[in-house]
Amino acid sequence: MLFVLDGCQCAFPLDDCSRIFIIIFYRLTRLIRPEYCGLDFVTLPRDTTFANKSNIMRYDNKQPIKVGPEDGMTISVVGDTYRILISGPQTGGAFACIDMIVPPGGGPGPHAHPDFEESFYVVEGEVEVNSESGRYIATKGSFISIPKGGVVHGFKNKSETNAHLLCTVVPAGLEDFFAEIGQPVKFGELIPPPHFDEETIKRIENIAEKYGQKVFPPDYLG
């Protein structure tokens, strides 16, 4: 549950009984003490996770969020370098944006996430997007949107230069998955992917499942 009071936000998990109580309390308050109508709330998805769970109070959601050209957590995820531009705690769990550098041969294998939408804008380079609907070469200026519902998809950089993508996920949460499986690196740094033995693959599959994703074998889409 996300509360907004006097421009500040706070979030904490609530069970069903607590949610019902707060809704009733809120409605009664609006009738009895209308001067308290500045209190409002938004229900977040039950599985919303935050990279920094201790960050209960957050910035006023009406204030612009400014991110410098090298700001944000930078992590290496299976050989790609991702920079978290904006995360769930900053948007009330509504969305997250990730800046992606994908080297030649890089990119995630087949996977699915039925509960959130994922969109990509190709800033530089190109990637081959593969899904159950077929293949598509996304070049500079292309935009790809993966809707909710669990369509299996993945992409690969088959060119000889780095690809630069801007990824947006709605709602937030994917950035937490990246933070858990990734390795912190310097801005712009690319490191080789880890060795994918059976234990590593199983660990990533388990973590992915925790964040509402399912990972498929590399040849799943042919």
Fold of 74-192+205-215: Jelly Rolls (2.60.120)
* pLDDT tens per residue across span 79-103: 999 999 999 999 999 999 999 999 9
* pLDDT tens per residue across span 58-78: 445 678 999 999 999 999 999
pLDDT attached to residue 71: 94
3-class SS at 86? strand
pLDDT attached to residue 62: 76
Residue 222 banded pLDDT, cuts 50, 70, 90: confident
* pLDDT tens per residue across span 14-57: 555 555 555 555 455 445 544 444 444 444 444 444 444 433 33
24 or 184: whose pLDDT is higher? 184
Domain boundaries, the chain: 2-43, 74-192+205-215
Rounded average pLDDT over 1-11: 42
Alpha-carbon distance values, 172 to 50, 98, 114, 137, 142 (Å): 9, 11, 13, 26, 22
pTM > 0.85: no
Q: Is the pLDDT of residue 190 over 90?
A: yes
pLDDT attached to residue 196: 84
28 or 177: whose pLDDT is higher? 177
Q: How far apart are CA 191 and CA 176, in angstroms?
A: 20
pLDDT attached to residue 20: 53
Burial class (CB in 10 A: 0-12, 13-18, 19+), 77: buried
CB atoms under 10 Å from CB of 69, counted, come to 8
Contact of 183 with 76, CB cutoff 8 Å: yes
Contact of 167 with 146, CB cutoff 8 Å: no
- β strands within the chain, DSSP E: 2-5, 8-11, 40-42, 57-58, 74-77, 80-86, 96-102, 111-112, 117-124, 127-131, 134-138, 143-146, 153-156, 163-170, 183-184, 214-215
* pLDDT tens per residue across span 134-176: 999 999 999 999 999 999 999 999 999 999 999 999 999 999 9
Percentage of the chain modeled with pLDDT above 70: 73
Query: What is the overall mean pLDDT for the chain?
Result: 81
Q: What are phi and psi of 32, to 5 degrees?
A: -85, -45
